[in-house]
């Protein structure tokens, strides 16, 4: 029997999914149209487009899990479960690392430091973001390899004696936890460093403004603040998302009621939905294009 709480959380999940899907489709379409018209995209626009596409996939994986949890759909078949896990791992990975690359891009484009290493990185911001994404691919392959090992272990869970199965299961769980921690803590720490450096750069800029008697309407100040809002929102929402994943996984293993699992999904879906809305609000071109959505063909 479906409870009132489950209905409320389900409505919340559906609303978040619709808003998130619309926001990410909007970003992808605007940047796609811009690419067709101009025949080129800036580094930031390419990252935004890829990020939006990855989050559309991530949202639909989350919706699939919600549907299965809500209506007790049997998704225990190995191939179906394994496919969903791989799709989730890929979309989650790209969503996280593309957002991290965007944080790095904002730092290198906006912050002002006289440090020689920073200046060298600033001149090569395209190469830096490319190297970060290539390095992230190594972690993605590691993640997929662990998922494959987990699947193989589950297939062979009835082989051998009980003691061996318990040890093997514990080893696989520890491996999963380690990989999950590494894959998520690295982009979190990178984004945190970007936030701290942007704050430091902003403070330096404010001091220079005070020394020269400049007003608060300085364009550079506004750029700093918008970049900080975007990166900080990513950090906060990504933290909520990661915690919800851990709680959801824990509730599954200890067989807690599905209300907890649904609450975790509702909290986690704020990340791919809410951060994309923040990106629209913080991007001048996207913000200007938003009022024209009702005039798009088929929108009304």
- Which tokens sit at 295? 């005039």
Q: Residue 151 CA to chain centroid, in angstroms? A: 25
One pLDDT digit (tens) per residue for the chain, 300 residues: 557 777 788 888 889 889 999 999 999 998 888 888 887 888 888 889 999 999 999 888 888 877 776 666 655 566 667 777 788 888 888 998 998 998 898 888 888 888 888 888 888 888 888 888 888 888 888 888 877 776 666 655 555 555 666 666 667 667 777 777 777 788 888 888 888 888 888 888 777 777 666 555 566 677 777 778 888 888 888 888 877 777 766 555 444 566 777 777 788 888 888 888 888 887 788 888 777 666 555 454
Q: What is the pLDDT of residue 118?
A: 86
* Torsion sign across C-alpha atoms 82, 68, 11, 28: positive
Measured CA angle at 112 (ends 211, 202), to 5 deg? 60
CATH of 4-295, one of 3.40.1280.10, 1.10.645.10, 1.20.1070.10, 1.10.8.290: 1.20.1070.10
Q: What is the pLDDT of residue 300?
A: 46
- Which tokens sit at 277? 């809305």
Structure letter (DSSP) for residue 294: G
- Specify the 3-state DSSP secondary structure of 114: coil
Q: What is the pLDDT of residue 255?
A: 47
Contacts of 18-21 spanning 24+ positions with Cβ under 8 A:
19/273, 19/277, 20/55, 20/59, 20/269, 20/272, 20/273, 20/274, 20/276, 20/277, 21/56, 21/59, 21/60
């Amino acid at each position: 029997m479906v409870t009132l709480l489950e209905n409320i959380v389900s409505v919340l999940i559906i609303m978040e999914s619709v808003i998130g899907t619309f926001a990410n489709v909007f970003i992808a379409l605007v940047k796609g149209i811009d690419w067709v018209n101009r025949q080129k995209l800036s580094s930031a626009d390419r990252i935004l487009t890829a990020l939006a596409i990855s989050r559309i996939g991530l949202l639909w994986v989350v919706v699939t899990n919600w549907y299965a949890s809500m209506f007790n759909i049997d998704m225990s078949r190995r191939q179906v479960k394994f496919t969903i896990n791989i799709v989730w791992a890929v979309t989650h990975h790209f969503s996280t690392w593309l957002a991290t690359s965007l944080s790095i891009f904002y730092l290198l484009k906006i912050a002002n430091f006289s440090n020689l290493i920073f200046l060298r990185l600033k001149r090569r911001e395209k190469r830096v973001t490319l190297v970060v994404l290539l390095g992230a691919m190594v972690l993605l392959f590691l993640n997929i390899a662990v998922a494959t090992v987990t699947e193989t272990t589950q297939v062979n869970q009835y082989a051998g004696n009980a003691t061996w199965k318990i040890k093997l299961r514990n080893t696989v769980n520890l491996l999963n936890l380690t990989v999950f921690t590494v894959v998520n803590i690295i982009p979190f720490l990178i984004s945190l460093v970007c936030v701290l450096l942007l704050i430091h750069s902003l403070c330096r800029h404010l001091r220079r403004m005070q020394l020269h008697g400049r007003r608060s309407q300085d364009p550079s100040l506004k750029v700093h603040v918008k970049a900080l809002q975007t990166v900080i929102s990513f950090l906060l929402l990504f933290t909520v998302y990661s915690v919800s994943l851990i709680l959801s996984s824990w509730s599954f293993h200890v067989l807690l009621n599905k209300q907890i699992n649904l609450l975790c999904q509702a909290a986690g879906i704020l990340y791919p939905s809410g951060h994309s809305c923040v990106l629209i609000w913080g991007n001048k071109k996207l913000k200007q294009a938003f009022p024209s959505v009702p005039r798009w063909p088929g929108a009304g």
